[in-house]
Amino acid sequence: MYLKRNMNKKNGRHFLQIPGPSCVPDRIQRAMARPVIDHRGPEFATLGRELLARIRPIFATDGPVIIYPSSGSGAWEAALANTLSPGDKVLMCETGHFAMLWAGIAGRLRLDARVIDTDWRHGADPAAIEAALADDKANDIKAVCVVHNETATGVVSNITAVRKAIDAASHPALLMVDTISSLASIDYRQDEWGVDVTVAGSQKGLMLPPGLSFNGVSKKALKAAESAQLPRSYWNWADMLASNEDGYFPYTPATPLMFGLRESINMLNEEGLDNVFARHSRHAAATRAAVNSWGLETVCADPDAHSPSLTAIFTPDGHSADHLRKVILENYDMSLGTGLGRLADKVFRVGHLGSLNDLMLMGALSGVEMGLGLAGVPHNPGGVQAAMDVLGRA
């Protein structure tokens, strides 16, 4: 039990520290707060052409980036539906809850999803991927699907190592990568890393509300789409690309979000992507310093795979992570991410992605440390100071 403090009047802003949707900056809010324009008119065509060109460097690709009015789940489906045929085998890596949701979509699309198991504490295993592809003498596996940054666990997979594994097996499978919680937060290079389809969403590193999703598409993926037999209408790349040539879309786009996306790209370019990535890594390091000082344990067990976007933290045995989150929400008006799948009620997640500065992070970590004490979760004091020490040295 704990004594709930008087929160009848909440002052200041709510701390949204889940790993997405992330905080939407005022600049982007203002950019979206404008009258809706004619999505068939010349003003929109100018906006559409600008965005379709300027989004490519965010993906580090010279190829097309397709923008859907949907959540990231739609982009998962689009990646599969445009390139594959019923019964095709796809190799999925069970790095966490979201990787398995993607595998579930593959199954519902009548694909044969072959899953490589993990303990959810490490990234995709390149050696296991290479072995599976080497055994596939008939090249029945048509795609390898990997989540770059698993939002449920805070573990990053090494995409360059996965690409090398596919090449070492001399296998023609497409490489599809989910960057929903890594794009514009963690270094990602579609073309350089040999990725054929990139999946992304608007509500995390791009600092937008939910509602836009993306497919970055290689020439090899476009070629595969020519013979793919899975049914597709709303997700059809061909329809999108044909309309995009003139800056338009084959159906009504999410116009306010498009204005927000323009401002998001402006903000990312003003800071510089390398600086954005460094800021995320710095905040992640400070968060892990706090966790270590508290005597708690991160889900990620690989020192080289810690996520710059979020940190997933175990509560000690016998202590409910959901109760801790409830205490923190009720007393400090801060939302933390819940444990998902096999990590339900065992883990709380601190998001440190998108538009975040040092003082915002310190406020979040202070809320966690106060909440640990109020909820009676065993921990060592001093995590906030440890995080401050990291930020002070940087």
CATH number at residue 110: 3.40.640.10
Are 148 and 66 part of one and the same domain? yes
Burial of 43 (0-12, 13-18, 19+ CB in 10 A): exposed
Are 312 and 300 in contact by the 8 Å Cβ rule? The answer is: yes
User: Considering all CA atoms of the chain, what is the largest pairwise distance in Å, rounded to the nearest integer?
Assistant: 66
Question: Do strands 213-217 and 197-201 pair parallel, antiparallel, or not at all (unpaired)?
Answer: antiparallel
Is 357 a member of any domain?
A: yes
Are 113 and 206 part of one and the same domain? yes
Picking from 229, 249, 269, the residue at the C-terminal end of a domain is 269
Q: Is the pTM of this model over 0.85?
A: yes
What integer pLDDT is reported at residue 5 of this predicted model? 57
Are 244 and 278 part of one and the same domain? no
Is 6 a member of any domain?
A: no
Is 323 a member of any domain?
A: yes
Is 8 a member of any domain?
A: no
What range does the domain containing 320 cover?
A: 15-23+273-393
Q: Secondary structure of the chain: what % helix, strand, coil (to 5)?
A: 40, 15, 45
Are 256 and 111 part of one and the same domain? yes
Are 122 and 88 part of one and the same domain? yes
Picking from 269, 299, 325, the residue at the C-terminal end of a domain is 269
Q: pLDDT tens digits for the chain (394 residues)?
A: 555 555 555 789 999 999 999 999 999 999 999 999 999 999 999 999 999 999 999 999 999 999 999 999 999 999 999 999 999 999 999 999 999 999 999 999 999 999 999 899 999 999 999 999 999 999 999 999 999 999 999 999 999 999 999 999 999 999 999 999 999 999 999 999 999 999 999 999 999 999 999 999 999 999 999 999 999 999 999 999 999 999 999 999 999 999 999 999 999 999 999 999 999 999 999 999 999 999 999 999 999 999 999 999 999 999 999 999 999 999 999 999 999 999 999 999 999 999 999 999 999 999 999 999 999 999 999 999 999 999 998 6
Are 182 and 205 in contact by the 8 Å Cβ rule? The answer is: yes
Picking from 236, 269, 302, the residue at the C-terminal end of a domain is 269
Name the domain count of the chain: 2
